[in-house]
Amino acid sequence: MQKFEFMSTSSEGNTAVTVSPDYVADRIANRSIGMIAIADDGTGFGFSLSDGSKVKIRLRGGRAEVVYYTPSKA
């Protein structure tokens, strides 16, 4: 079974920090999904949310990363 690692980073991808699954769940709750994309190499997928944030799920060896990208400030 895959081990999940939950991370948060800025919209530019700077300085990722490890967060709890509840943190990510709280950020994506009550948001609409705008677009879903699958990685070209088949290692994961991502989706954008109605507030401008996005989430990417990537398979990395024996673990899966769930990365929450905060909405851009622009």
- Give 23-61 pLDDT, tens digit per residue: 999 999 999 999 999 988 888 999 999 999 999 999 887
Q: Could you tell me if residue 74 is inside a domain?
A: no
Q: Could you tell me if residue 60 is inside a domain?
A: yes
Q: How confident is the model at residue 9 (pLDDT cuts 50, 70, 90)?
A: very high
Number of structural domains, the chain? Answer: 1
DSSP string, 9-38: E-TT--S-EE--HHHHHHHHTT--EEEEEE
Which residues form the domain of 46? 3-69
Q: Could you tell me if residue 50 is inside a domain?
A: yes
Cα–Cα distance, 2 to 43 (Å, whole number): 13
Task: Point out which residues pair with 48 in neighbouring strands.
Answer: 35, 54
Residues 6+ apart with CB under 8 A from 18: 5, 6, 7
Kindly state the DSSP code that residue 53 receives in the 8-state scheme.
-
Q: Could you tell me if residue 34 is inside a domain?
A: yes
